[in-house]
Amino acid sequence: MESERDFAAYRERILNDMREGIHRSTCESADPIQVFMNQRRVGLLDRNGGESTLHVRSQARIESIQLRSEDGVLLGGLSAPEYGFRSSRISLMHTTVELDVHNTAQGGSVRAVCIPEPGFRYHSERERVGAVDRAAQHPVAFTGVGMRAIAFTQVLLAVMLVGLVVDRTTGWMTPVHSSLPVTQADAPWAAPFGEVAKLEEQLTELSRMQTKAVETIQTHQQGMAQLQQTMAKLSSTQEAVVSNVLNVKQRRKAAGRDDERITRMIMNITQREQEQLEAEIHSLTVANDRLSQEMADLEQDNQNLKKRLQSEGVGVSKSTALDREKLALAQKNEADQTRYAPPVAKTRAVSQQPLSEGTSLESIE
Amino acid sequence: MILGAQPIRGREQTMSERTATLGRLEQMVATAEEFDRVVSQALPILLDRAAGYTKRFLRETGQWTDDVAHEKFVLRWGAEYLEQFLVFGRSEVPCRPLFLLDSIVAKQHSRAEPFCYSSDLLTPLGRFIDGLVRRAAISRDALIALFHHCYGLGPGQVITVLRLNGSVSQRIYKNFQRWRGSGWKRTIESMDISETELQGLNEQQCYQRHQFNCDAERMLGLAQGHYRKSEPDHYPCLSRHQWKGMFQQGYGIEYRIWHLALCRDCLQTVWDLGFNGASDIEIPRVALQLQP
């Protein structure tokens, strides 16, 4: 029985928590909001400054997005579609969170933007901006309220005036029986002079107030005219700034186009030169190859020639040595003959030229 | 069934009212406002329905036992599903609320591990640990408080261990403050831990400290393993070298906070690195703190 009561109390507590919803959170309005994707925490939305954005991509399909406070209370969320976009705008205390979910075949992405309420967020910024800017930001609201107040005052005054005039006119048009002595008790409707005087005073007061009101209205109108002038100036300045920005952009674009053209031209020239250079390099490479081939051939020829020269040089030296031996033998024989021959032969031998290297055997003989 | 919602429901609503409410829930709602209105009138019915599905799931998977602990367990998860239904339903209009709830619960139960179930986690100690870690998966206050409840670290020590600075440090103090103010109490209530049970746990901790902390460590591992899956996919366990690089170069503040609170092994690794005087503090061992 006790466990039943315990269970019932627990169930009731859970239901109460659920009814309280986001009010259970004890976080302050400036504390960050946690973003959960498919029940996994993916980031924070900061509420301290201005707008904050969180962009998350996922390989897997997104099923749900949850926003939770730092103490874990579920503030809001979005169930993602199986395919395509879904957006939601969740209003929290002093904040609105915009959720955009996109699911594709490749996965999903989510974009969460935290936008503080204007009053909450821009209070300090507005103080920095100036009166002109303020007026420019909310001209319609200001003018509307002012105009309504003025119109209301005018209507009120007009009604009061009409009332007074009707009252006076009625008094004047009513036949006055002055010949009859009328007392206050007999004619209760007849106003005494004192009251009339008071009424006149009130009327004077009213007219003074009206004058004041008219003056105030005029002042307001002047103020509004000034404000409008300022706004006009501001808008003209803004237009001028915008036109300047546009001019600058156009110039930049034109300059950009010129730059592009020049760059393209330079690139074309460079490309052409590069191509020429490549062609030249190619031809030079071919010529170089040819030359190296020729050089190799020449070297081969040279080698062959050297070999042949060497072989011929050996033959010549051998033949020269043989000639020398033959010459020495001949000289010996001649000397022998001179020793025993007649003087003519001796004379002929003296007239003989001396032998030198390279002298052929025939000439010696 | 020992306990059921039927007698309680009987007290709350007559049968005809219940049938009429169910009829309204089966009809199409066209706008978010209409959805809120219809659903807010039928919260008890919807809670019982979601809890009933969870009970059926436990029965079919052979995890059900007829006792109060299990009844409360299914009620907790029923409330979890119902909370999601209340939020997501607004973006699903036009829809039939009753069938939408059925589809949300079915989707959850089609997952591999829809909830962290263990008979150990249904004991007072288990509920305390499960409640803490489960809350930490969705609440930064509870996440930071885990450092205190598991290892007895204060805000200053948490800042030192995680090597935080500036505004992040301020947030740690704020998290602690909010947890002490309301978070802990709410978690204890949500896990239905009574004063008597807390007192019992205190006594157990005093007289059988070693056994108590051993049990706590085992259950903590179980709960952390389950709820760490709520981290982003890009927050896996890192190697010693990677942790060193992260701490030296000063990036990955959120990574450190979220992962280390839910992973004791990585916390040990970081502790061993001994950054910024962390080594001066005694190495973290599970020493459960029951109070905030």
Contact yes or no for A15 and B87 at CB 8 A: no
The CA–CA distances, whole Å, from B246 to B143, B240, B279 equal: 20, 10, 17
**Chain A residues within 8 A of B232 when measuring between CB atoms:** 40-42
CA–CA distance, A152 with A333 (Å, rounded to integer): 168
Report the gap between the CA of A123 and the closest CA in chain B (Å): 23
pLDDT band at A348 (very low <50, low <70, confident <90, very high): very low
**Chain A residues within 8 A of B107 when measuring between CB atoms:** 63
Residue to test with chain A: of B70, B76, B87, B178, most A Cβ within 10 A: B87
DSSP A280-333: HHHHHHHHHHHHHHHHHHHHHHHHHHHHHHHHHHHHHHHHHHHHHHHHHHHHHH
pLDDT above 90 (res A121):
no
Q: Which of A142-156, A340-354, B165-179 has the highest mean pLDDT?
A: B165-179
How much is the pLDDT for A267?
Answer: 81
- The chain-wide mean pLDDT, for chain A, equals 72
Nearest to A70 among B2, B7, B139 (CB): B139
Contact yes or no for A79 and B92 at CB 8 A: yes
How much is the pLDDT for A150?
Answer: 55
How much is the pLDDT for A349?
Answer: 40
Report whether A73 contacts A22 (CB < 8 A). yes
pLDDT above 50 (res A141):
no
pLDDT band at A106 (very low <50, low <70, confident <90, very high): confident
The CA–CA distances, whole Å, from A79 to A63, A76, A107, B182, B229 equal: 6, 10, 15, 30, 20
**Chain A residues within 8 A of B175 when measuring between CB atoms:** 70
pLDDT band at A283 (very low <50, low <70, confident <90, very high): confident
Encode pLDDT of B66-119 as tens digits.
999 999 999 999 999 999 999 889 888 899 999 999 999 999 999 888 888 888
Encoded amino acid at A200, one letter: E
Taking the Cβ of residue A88 and every Cβ of chain B, the question of whether any pair is shorter than 8 Å is answered with yes
- B37 compared with A160, residue with greater pLDDT: B37
CA–CA distance, B4 with B50 (Å, rounded to integer): 14
Q: How many other CB atoms are there within 10 angstroms of residue A14's CB atom?
A: 24
- A147 compared with A228, residue with greater pLDDT: A228
Contact yes or no for B86 and A21 at CB 8 A: yes
Nearest C-alpha in B relative to A35? B138
pLDDT (average), residues A135-143: 35
Residue to test with chain A: of B46, B116, B140, most A Cβ within 10 A: B140
How much is the pLDDT for A174?
Answer: 46
**Chain B residues within 8 A of A39 when measuring between CB atoms:** 230
How much is the pLDDT for B111?
Answer: 87
How much is the pLDDT for A27?
Answer: 79
Contact yes or no for B87 and A74 at CB 8 A: yes
DSSP A188-255: TTSPPHHHHHHHHHHHHHHHHHHHHHHHHHHHHHHHHHHHHHHHHHHHHHHHHHHHHHHHHHHHHHHH
Strand order in the sheet with A74-79: A40-45, A33-37, A64-68, A74-79
pLDDT above 90 (res A323):
no
Report whether B12 contacts A15 (CB < 8 A). no
Taking the Cβ of residue A24 and every Cβ of chain B, the question of whether any pair is shorter than 8 Å is answered with yes
Residue whose C-alpha is closest to residue A76's, from B103, B242, B83: B83
CA–CA distance, B23 with A358 (Å, rounded to integer): 140
pLDDT above 60 (res A354):
no
Nearest C-alpha in B relative to A1? B3
Task: Specify the range with the lowest mean pLDDT, choosing from A151-165, A186-200, B35-49.
Answer: A186-200
How much is the pLDDT for A287?
Answer: 85
How much is the pLDDT for A248?
Answer: 77
The CA–CA distances, whole Å, from B77 to A174, B25, B63, B116 equal: 88, 21, 15, 10
Q: Tell me the CB-side half-sphere exposure of residue A119, using CA atoms within 13 A.
A: 2
Contact yes or no for A78 and B88 at CB 8 A: yes
Residue to test with chain B: of A41, A48, A73, A78, most B Cβ within 10 A: A41
Task: Specify the range with the lowest mean pLDDT, choosing from A187-191, A288-292, B66-70.
Answer: A187-191
3-state SS, residue A136 = helix
Task: Specify the range with the lowest mean pLDDT, choosing from A288-302, B129-143, B206-220, B223-237.
Answer: B223-237
pLDDT (average), residues A3-14: 90
Report chain A's C-alpha Rg in angstroms. 62
Encode pLDDT of B269-283 as tens digits.
988 887 655 556 666
pLDDT above 80 (res A359):
no
Q: Which residues pair with A165 in a beta bridge?
A: none
Contact yes or no for B43 and A15 at CB 8 A: yes
Report the gap between the CA of B68 and the closest CA in chain A (Å): 7
Contact yes or no for A77 and B3 at CB 8 A: no
Encode pLDDT of B146-181 as tens digits.
999 999 999 998 998 888 887 888 899 999 999 999
Report the gap between the CA of B7 and the closest CA in chain A (Å): 10
Taking the Cβ of residue B204 and every Cβ of chain A, the question of whether any pair is shorter than 8 Å is answered with no
Report the gap between the CA of B265 and the closest CA in chain A (Å): 21
How much is the pLDDT for A128?
Answer: 37
Nearest C-alpha in A relative to B79? A14
pLDDT band at A163 (very low <50, low <70, confident <90, very high): low
- A195 compared with B65, residue with greater pLDDT: B65
CA–CA distance, B87 with A267 (Å, rounded to integer): 60
pLDDT (average), residues A278-287: 83
Residue to test with chain A: of B138, B176, B191, B257, most A Cβ within 10 A: B138
How much is the pLDDT for A182?
Answer: 39
Encode pLDDT of B3-62 as tens digits.
445 555 555 557 788 888 889 999 999 999 999 999 998 999 999 999 999 999 999 999
Report the gap between the CA of B60 and the closest CA in chain A (Å): 23
Q: Tell me the CB-side half-sphere exposure of residue B198, using CA atoms within 13 A.
A: 14
Encode pLDDT of B214-271 as tens digits.
999 999 999 998 888 766 666 789 999 999 999 988 888 888 998 999 998 899 898 8
**Chain A residues within 8 A of B91 when measuring between CB atoms:** 77-79, 86, 88
Report the gap between the CA of A62 and the closest CA in chain B (Å): 13
Taking the Cβ of residue A70 and every Cβ of chain B, the question of whether any pair is shorter than 8 Å is answered with yes
Report the gap between the CA of B181 and the closest CA in chain A (Å): 9
pLDDT band at A275 (very low <50, low <70, confident <90, very high): confident
Contact yes or no for A74 and B139 at CB 8 A: no
Report the gap between the CA of A244 and the closest CA in chain B (Å): 42
pLDDT above 60 (res A138):
no
